[in-house]
Amino acid sequence: MSNLNNRITQKIVDNPQIKKEKDKTATRFVWQRKHLLGLQDLSRQELIHILDTAAGFQEISHRSVKKAPALRGKVVVNLFFEDSTRTRNSFTLAAQRLSADVLEFTAKTSSVSKGETLRDTARNLEAMGIDIVVIRHSSGGATHLLSRCIDACIVNAGDGYHEHPTQGLLDIFTMRELRGDLTGLKVAIVGDIAHSRVARSNIWGLHTLGAQVYLVAPPTLMPSGVRELPVQVSHNFDEIIGQMDVLNMLRVQFERIGSSVFPSTLEYSRMFGLTAERMKRAKKDVIVMHPGPINRGLEIESEVADGPNSTVLRQVSNGLAVRMAVLFLVNQAAAAEKKKSKRVDK
C-alpha cells in the first residue's frame, strides 16, 4: 500500500501543471476527512489535494491492466435511492479499479420497500463488514444523518437539492485541466439552478478556488436566497455570454418541477438554450459543459454538445479519476483514525 501511495504522490509532484499551480501556502498536506459530504466546508488546500490526487490516478485508465491495489479487501456499497447511470457506474468502476469489492443496493428491491428506515438499512449493511458507503438520496442532509449513524466512510453521490460533490469536483477538475489556475475564471451556470445540487457544489468549489460564478436562469428557476450566495445573477444569457470562459449548462429537471416554470420548452430554448447561433457570441475557446443527461434541443443543441468546445465526454472520463481519488482519500483517513484510536487505547 505504501508503494502505491508513493507512486501516486510522485505522479502529482511530476505533473508540470500541478507544479505551476502549487498552492503558495502548501506544505506536506494530509487528508483527514473520512467522509465527503459536500464542498461547502472544504478549504482551498483540501480541494487542491483532491484534484492533485485525481491527476495521479488518471493514468490507471490507460494501462493494459486497469487495476491498483489501494482498496484491496475493502467493501464499497452503492446505496442509491434514486435512479442513476453515470454516477453509479462511475463509482462502481472507480471502486473496482482500486480492487475493492462492490455491493450494489437498489431501494426498489430492498427492505426499504417494506418500510425499513435509512438508518436501519445502513446499520444492517455495516453489520456485514462494509467500509465505504456511496449514497444518493432524495432528501437533503441524508448523508449527514448517515455519517452520525455508522462508522463506515460516507461519500455523498447527491442528496436532494443540497450537493453533489463529486460532480462538482469533476467539473472543476476539467476546468483546471484545460485552464490551470482558476483564479478569475468566469463561469456561467445556466438553467435549472433551483433544483440543481450540481450547481451548489460547483458554486462552493469554484468560489473557494477563486473563480467568478454567474448564475443564469429565469427567475422561476433561481433558488430562494440566491442573493446570499457568492455569485452574480443574470436573467439575460445573451448579455453575459461573451464574457464567460466556461458555460456549464444544467438539465431542466422536469421530474422535480411541480408546476409550469416557463411558458414552453420552445421559449426556454430560445432564451436560455445554448444554440449554434448563440455560440457565435461566445469566446472562441469557451469551455462548454453539461453534467448529463442532456435534453438535446432544450438546454443545448446537438451541434454544440458534440462540437469542438464541448467537454461532456471528458467530464465523464475525468469523473472516474476524481471518484477514485475520493474513495482512496476517505479510506486513507479512516485507516489513520483507527490507527490513532488504537494508540490511544494502549
Give the pLDDT of the chain (346 residues) as one tens digit per residue.
445 455 554 554 455 555 555 544 445 899 999 999 999 999 999 999 999 999 999 999 888 889 999 999 999 999 999 989 999 999 999 999 999 999 998 877 667 767 889 999 999 999 999 999 999 999 999 999 999 999 999 999 999 999 999 999 999 999 999 999 999 999 999 999 999 999 999 999 999 999 999 999 999 999 999 999 999 999 999 999 999 999 999 999 877 776 677 878 899 999 999 999 999 999 999 999 999 999 999 999 999 999 999 999 999 999 999 999 999 999 999 999 988 877 666 6
Q: 88, 97, 136, 162: which one is catalytic? A: 136
DSSP 93-123: HHHHHTT-EEEEEEGGGSGGGGT--HHHHHH
Query: Would residue 183 show up in a list of annotated catalytic residues for this protein?
Result: no
Asked about 87 being catalytic, the answer comes back as yes
- 220 catalytic? Reply is no
Q: From the candidates 20, 24, 108, 114, which is the catalytic residue? A: 114
Is 207 in the active site? no
> CA-CA distance, 158 to 143, in Å (whole number)?
9
Q: Which residues contact 245 (CB under 8 A, 6 or more apart)?
A: 179, 185, 186, 187, 283, 286, 287
pTM: 0.90
Task: Give me 227's grid cell.
Answer: 442573493
The pLDDT tens digits of the residues spanning 189-198 come to: 999 999 999 9
Q: Which of 34, 137, 164, 323 is catalytic?
A: 164
Concerning whether 283 is annotated as a catalytic residue, the answer is no
Catalytic-role residue among 34, 49, 87, 278: 87
Q: Measured between alpha carbons, how far is 76 from 4 in angstroms, rounded to an integer?
A: 19
**Catalytic-labelled residue, pool 33, 86, 207, 283:** 86
Strand order in the sheet with 287-289: 232-234, 212-216, 186-190, 246-249, 287-289
How far apart CA 12 and CA 18 sit, in angstroms, is: 7
**Full set of structural domains in the chain with CATH:** 2-164+316-345 (3.40.50.1370), 167-311 (3.40.50.1370)
Supply the pLDDT for residue 17.
52
Q: For residue 181, give the amino acid letter.
A: D
